Amino acid sequence: MPDPLRLGLAGLGTVGIGVVKIVQRHADLIAARGGRPITITAVSARDRTKNRDADLSGYAWESDPVALARRPDVDVFVELMGGEAGGAKASVEAAIAAGKDVVTANKALLAHHGQALAEAAEAAGAAIRFEAAVAGGIPVIKALTEGLAGNEITRVMGVMNGTCNYILTRMESAGLSYDQVFEEARQLGYLEADPTLDVGGIDAGHKLSLLASIAFGTRVSFDKVELEGIERVSIDDIRLAADMGLRIKLLGVAQMTGRGLEQRMSPCLVPVDSPLGQLPGGTNMVVIEGDSVGQVVLRGAGAGQGPTASAVMADVIDLARGTRLSTFGRPAASLVAPVPAKATAPAAHYLRMTLQDKPGALAKIATALGEAGVSINRMRQYGHPDATTAPVLIVTHKTTRDAIDVALKAFAGTGVLASEPVALRIEPV
Amino acid sequence: MPDPLRLGLAGLGTVGIGVVKIVQRHADLIAARGGRPITITAVSARDRTKNRDADLSGYAWESDPVALARRPDVDVFVELMGGEAGGAKASVEAAIAAGKDVVTANKALLAHHGQALAEAAEAAGAAIRFEAAVAGGIPVIKALTEGLAGNEITRVMGVMNGTCNYILTRMESAGLSYDQVFEEARQLGYLEADPTLDVGGIDAGHKLSLLASIAFGTRVSFDKVELEGIERVSIDDIRLAADMGLRIKLLGVAQMTGRGLEQRMSPCLVPVDSPLGQLPGGTNMVVIEGDSVGQVVLRGAGAGQGPTASAVMADVIDLARGTRLSTFGRPAASLVAPVPAKATAPAAHYLRMTLQDKPGALAKIATALGEAGVSINRMRQYGHPDATTAPVLIVTHKTTRDAIDVALKAFAGTGVLASEPVALRIEPV
């Protein structure tokens, strides 16, 4: 039997303990698949005395993750601490400097420092693997980097934050407001310490920026992701969209257009009966479109101990097998800085507004749309209990966001609006 | 720039020409991702004079695929002829004997000779890759072999024959009989020359046997797959199942149980609103369940020029990158002959029958079920235009197929059946 591949594990939270459990439970299975045993030599975490759900007595303890990364008896440094700076960054850099391969679940670190880390790794002959950083247990980094490598990728989309998907799903099923469900989620422990990371779309935006780099051969550019969270999604829009056969998802879309690279993470509408529209609760889904393959859809658990540890172990087993890939699927030096596209590819849009119920109100709105070059596909005016205002829903034909913004501006000048209009993109899926 | 990886391409049908197109169209992209250029040196097909939708003038021509496989200027032999014997088998064996890596889309060849070929390849230091053999463009072999390698796989399921899924979907949407839609599909060119390969479940059974080998570390055992085609699915069952919120799919299931390895490819019922139930027309879906990851669902085009060529190119690019894996994910010598499990894991079942409309008829059926240990979950008796017989639908609680068979036997002795009962498994998904 060949020498074991020796892991140094920094971070013993939910995912770290998940990795320990798999290494211990499936030692034989993993050795058979990886072609050599996989062992843990040393571990590191903030608090040594904390009671953890695994037997760590066989592993050396390092209080400093940088020291762990440099240990001569560690072949692969597994970083599961999280955070874009601090110990995570320092220890990953130390591991690379020592020529060691790195496996990480840290999307923030790679979204902010991916290019520099990839270049350093290449110079040192080390690999960085990060399947666990995007969409939990779904092998989407592998699908994009390897499984669809013969394709020019045309679009990557995904629902990649289970907490946001839970909140939106629960709002619809229980008919509750955003604030009510947010409070529920907080009490259930579903939210990060800083909930903006989830509900502000930042965590999902990190993931999108990593997928975009692989898909389009561009440098990771998280700062160019147009971010909009779910905080302003109202139960009214969820209900009225449903009435039109649509459902609101926090959807990430990366797309290379003639104008440049679009990256947006924002609440979008998708058909209720599409795979994205059907996605329940905490689940994740990534949709990859390539010129030869068409559309491939991947669905699974986006978080949690087992799924995330499964992704970490896939990377570790690849390294045991001797698989060597560039971090983002091609040499770091060949990745180009993307031209960010400001305007988005045309799409149908959903417009909701409340009009003053007087003759000619709707005509003024319709005229404003026509003058902005926006044509109407479907329109519904709802009954109005107070008889002085009328809720109106419009689904447009394909148009640009720019044209919608022109129309919204014109609406404001009509004097017939009883409330601020809502405009949501209907992503073609 | 390193030396190119040189392909020899045997078979210039739809998929072969698809591979030529990708190699020509995306030469730069592929070289960037694979780390070296990928070129085609020589090709082979039955008829040299046939007009093909690609420029082949730059490639040497071999009339004999075995000679192609042995050419010293070929690094990777790409077998896209198909068929479990004949030129496909001989040329793959020749390539392996010459120490060359093989990429193939040939599920029949591997289902019948996978173990022998894997052993030969290992002895020769060659790799066999077959992403294109299962579920077209969906990178499912990669997901199972690599992306979920840290898991004990508990079940693999899939709808892997687009033609059958098209027929069943079309029967439901158009309300047509099997014979009518079969004739439509024939005229549209959707069927193989021998349609039994599709509608008899053989093609899908080949694919299932390959997935089972990777999932469970067992030797490919196509001869142990319980096969049942879709020929006997009636429009009545499609309609009545829909009434119960269920849909019929030709579903492959491989599962390791205490009794051994179950492999079955048969018409099963799944909930209409499950991912498998939602799968339309010619699309494929594979569901993989692992002890850590839970359930991962993969969906995409299961056939066609672009998708299948995409899978072939993924394997080729992996080889260009230097990725080396055992054929079925672990050394061929370590694969064990599976103990085939005769009985299936318990599940709810759907029973349809027509009873003579006389007092006590339903009681006799209910008694027979009870005596067989089968309990009833839901029962519906429908109106009966002729007033002498009554269609009856029963959904049972979880039970074994053995118990169902005992009950069916007892039904026959009651004297109240007006027609042969239909029993379908409801696969828990």
Question: Which of these is catalytic: A142, A207, A224, A249?
Answer: A207
Q: Evaluate if residue B384 carries a pLDDT over 80.
A: no
> For the domain B140-301+328-334, what is the CATH code?
3.30.360.10
Compute the residue count for chain B.
429
Domain boundaries, given as residue ranges, for chain A: 5-133, 140-302, 348-426
Contact B347, B427 (CB under 8 A): yes
Q: Which two tokens stand for residue B384?
A: 């009966």
Backbone angles phi, psi at A140, to 5 degrees: -85, -35
Report d(CA A127, CA A80) in Å as an integer: 16
pLDDT digits (tens, 9 = 90+) for A184-236: 999 988 888 899 999 999 999 999 999 999 999 999 999 999 999 999 999 99
> CA of A138, closest CA in chain B: separation in Å?
6
Instruction: Determine whether the interchain pair A152/B296 forms a contact, defined as Cβ–Cβ distance below 8 Å.
Output: no
pLDDT digits (tens, 9 = 90+) for B303-329: 999 999 999 999 999 999 999 999 999
User: What is the number of other CB atoms lying within 10 angstroms of the CB of residue A187?
Assistant: 9
Report d(CA A376, CA A398) in Å as an integer: 9
Q: Which two tokens stand for residue B14?
A: 């739809």
Instruction: Determine whether the interchain pair B294/A316 forms a contact, defined as Cβ–Cβ distance below 8 Å.
Output: no
Whole-structure pTM value = 0.96
pLDDT given at position B416: 94
Report d(CA A323, CA B318) in Å as an integer: 9
- Chain A (368-427) residues lying within 8 Å, Cβ to Cβ, of chain B: none
A50 flagged as catalytic: no
Q: What percent of chain B has pLDDT over 70?
A: 100
The alpha carbon torsion through B116, B119, B122, B126 (nearest 10 deg) reads 0
Instruction: Determine whether the interchain pair B317/A26 forms a contact, defined as Cβ–Cβ distance below 8 Å.
Output: no
Query: Residues of B with CB below 8 A from A17's CB?
Result: none
Residue linked to tokens 């209409």 = B272
Q: Please name the residues in contact with B185: beta carbons below 8 A apart, sequence gap of 6 or more.
A: B163, B166, B167, B170, B191
What sections of A263-395 are H helices per DSSP?
275-278, 305-321, 361-371
Q: Which two tokens stand for residue A228?
A: 């909009």
Contact A196, A229 (CB under 8 A): yes
Instruction: Determine whether the interchain pair A292/B334 forms a contact, defined as Cβ–Cβ distance below 8 Å.
Output: no
Task: Please name the residue of chain A whose CA is at the shortest distance from the CA of residue B304.
Answer: A293
Task: Assign B280 a pLDDT band (cuts: 50, 70, 90).
Answer: confident
Phi/psi class of residue B82: alpha, beta or left (left: φ > 0; alpha: ψ in -120 to 50)?
left
Instruction: Determine whether the interchain pair A309/B292 forms a contact, defined as Cβ–Cβ distance below 8 Å.
Output: yes
pLDDT given at position B43: 98
Q: Which amino acid is at B398?
A: K
Query: Residues of B with CB below 8 A from A301's CB?
Result: 293-295
Report d(CA A214, CA B33) in Å as an integer: 10
pLDDT given at position B343: 66
Q: Which long-range contacts (CB under 8 A, 24 or more apart) does B175-178 make?
A: B175/B235, B175/B239, B176/B235, B177/B234, B177/B235, B178/B230, B178/B231, B178/B232, B178/B233, B178/B234, B178/B235
Task: Assign B359 a pLDDT band (cuts: 50, 70, 90).
Answer: confident
Report d(CA A306, CA A354) in Å as an integer: 47
pLDDT digits (tens, 9 = 90+) for A82-111: 999 999 999 999 999 999 999 999 999 999
User: What is the number of other CB atoms lying within 10 angstroms of the CB of residue A401?
Assistant: 17
Rounded to a whole number of angstroms, the CA Rg of chain B reads 24
> CA of B148, closest CA in chain A: separation in Å?
6
Q: Evaluate if residue A384 carries a pLDDT over 80.
A: no
Of A138, A294, A304, the CB nearest to B306: A294
What does the pLDDT average to over A39-52?
A: 94
Q: Where are the beta strands (DSSP E) in A130-209?
A: 153-159
Least confident window among A310-324, A342-356, B88-102, B137-151 = A342-356
Backbone angles phi, psi at A89, to 5 degrees: -65, -45
Instruction: Determine whether the interchain pair B310/A152 forms a contact, defined as Cβ–Cβ distance below 8 Å.
Output: no
pLDDT given at position A369: 97
Reduced to 3 states, what is the DSSP secondary structure of residue A264? strand
In order, the DSSP letters of A149-183 are TTS-EEEEEEE--HHHHHHHHHHHHHT--HHHHHH
pLDDT given at position B345: 84
Tell the CATH topology of A140-302.
Dihydrodipicolinate Reductase; domain 2 (3.30.360)
Compute the residue count for chain A.
429
- Superfamily, domain A5-133: NAD(P)-binding Rossmann-like Domain (3.40.50.720)
- Chain A (231-260) residues lying within 8 Å, Cβ to Cβ, of chain B: none
- Chain A (316-345) residues lying within 8 Å, Cβ to Cβ, of chain B: 316-318, 321-326, 329-331, 334
Angle subtended by helix axes A14-25 and A305-321, to nearest 10: 60
The alpha carbon torsion through B247, A270, B282, B149 (nearest 10 deg) reads -90
Q: Is A22 on the interface with B (CB under 8 A)?
A: yes
Rounded to a whole number of angstroms, the CA Rg of chain A reads 24
Query: Residues of A with CB below 8 A from B301's CB?
Result: 293-295
What does the pLDDT average to over A277-281?
A: 91
Q: Spell out the CATH class of A348-426.
A: alpha beta
Instruction: Determine whether the interchain pair B322/A324 forms a contact, defined as Cβ–Cβ distance below 8 Å.
Output: yes
Query: Residues of A with CB below 8 A from B151's CB?
Result: 310
Q: Evaluate if residue A343 carries a pLDDT over 70.
A: no
Residue contacts between A and B (CB atoms, under 8 Å): 189
Report d(CA A216, CA A228) in Å as an integer: 23
Best residue of A130, A131, A151 to probe chain B, by most B CBs closer than 10 Å: A151
